[in-house]
Chains A and B, each alone.
Chain A
Amino acid sequence: MILKVALRNFAGQGMRAFLNVSVTALIIIATIFSLSLLNGFQAQALKNLSTTDVGGGHYRVPGFDIMSPTDWEDLTQEVPRQLSQFKHNEKAEVLVQQGQLFINNRMFPVQLRGVEMGQQLLDLPMDHLLRRQQPVADSVPIIIGTQMSRKSKLKVGDQVVMKWRDKHGAVDALDAEVVDVVPLVNPRVDEGVAWLRLDHLRQITLRSKEITWVVVEGNRGKVEGLEFIDTDYLMRDLLALLANDRRNTRLIIGILLMLAAISVFNTQYLNIFKRQKEIGTLMAMGMTPNQIIRLFTVEGGLAAVGAVLMAVVLGIPFFAWFQISGFDVSHLSGTGIPVRENIFLEFNVREIATAVSIIVGLMILVAWWPVRRISNLEPTQALRGRGIT
């Protein structure tokens, strides 16, 4: 009975009810959108990082740090037998060394990254290197990414002097030929990186069979001479950035939610103030204060239920449209974030259910909070409209 009465009263509130429902519905849509966009962004970024660099983790020479290039030449070793037996889709051997390109007579420090040809674990567009099977003779074929190309002004077909130090510390140089410029979605493997065939890098640095790390599908247990670095560690900077984004998003959602809660609270407060005579009449007709509190709480709570329904009606077409067009993040191409393409929403049902439950719960709470005062209201005072001031 209370629900039926509350529905009629709620509908009778007209524009005020509609505004509350609309604001709350928009907040539900905004909440789902921002959480799902962040999920989509995170999924895409982690996927890009994983498929271009991290894989399922690295077996690295202990002490290797990508941020300490001067140590790179000291931190290599031969591939342990245990790893060299893995198939092409189970591992990718990588050798990293320092080098310099001399572009227009200016020195350009680069990371020379040799990757095993034929590996299928990482998704790297190395087709042009794959074809250059002959040992290095007059020039070293290299591939660079589009960001590197933009910064260094190098393009396909350019030849520049490349310098490096071999295993014995002797400085050597040869021409490097840019055989391809490829779009790499991960800036870690683009900016400042020159890609070589692993056999070529080994040849010119005299590091036969050596690696800096081996990318693997996952932890394969202890490997002699190498330590396993898991994906969480390898992606820690990105994960920290995303965790920070998630905190900021929650803060914004919290602020929006507070605004909606204030709106419902205000409506309820006005309701009990303006409808005191009605409350008194209901009491005279035999409703208990608790029943009236329930009635007004349900009435206020209906704003939340209406908002969920409106969010479904407005949200589904909006999200469907968004999933077709995606969100253009090309403006992030200059940043270190490993996402270049359009990103799409990734819905997490549990997360959405939790968020919607919190919103509905909060709306019911703020619908109930002001009407608690009815419990102390005297019917005679309410009938005179003087019970709540």
Chain B
Amino acid sequence: MMKIWSDAWVQIVSGVFVALLLLGCSGGEEGDSGKEPDQETTSKRKAWDSALGTATVSGTVSFHGKPVPSRPVNLSKDAQCAKQHPDGLRDNSLVLNSDNTIQEVFVWIEKGLEGWKFPVPKEPVILSQLGCMYSPHVLGVMAKQPIQIRNDDSAVHNVHCLAKRSSKFNISQQTGATDTKTFKRPEVMVNLICDIHPWMSAHLGVLSHPAFSVTNDKGAFRITNLPPGKYTIAAWQDRYGIQKKEITVGDGESLTVDFTYPSAP
């Protein structure tokens, strides 16, 4: 009998050991990402002095050449969505204005503001799901700033966040639902999709500073309140990716920078 008892003990002890081991492994994974040093918010940085922000950078983003046509989207799977778009919908990874300027390009200061610590706005950025689309499709937000994601649609959506540096999430939202999320770390761009409606996507530029802009229906952007200095300014377009330029602005100066996609002519 004693032998059997000890065998049982071996089983138990090894079982518990394996369990702890596995728990440890999975716990460790989460822990590691949590411990990653957060360079952008280290205390070495100076608090932002708004009196310094005198310079402005603005410009337009335009398209050069003949674009590849956008893929049509089939809305038939969800009657609620089809109803709201009687003329159909196309893939919105490239939205051109009539004068060949590009809408929804995210433009931001990539380098040059590392020394400053900017206050994080308390008021949330709003990302709405309306007409089976994310609205806006491209937007900027500061790290740790609340972002309110809401479903203003008659259809059910799920918000699947594919962040790589902050935690991912995947939640379904009924009509009228609201969830407030924050992103821990800067990341350009964070992609949000809806798995139920594959044509839906939102792109979030998450930054440690407020120096960003999204091009409007004239293809124009405008970044204000920059302190004088040397910067790398970057633009992100959904289909064609990132372009960068080096700029220098003086005190109170207004600089114009233009971008052209697919690439500089």
Do A and B pair up? The answer is no
Residues of A within 8 A of B (CB): none
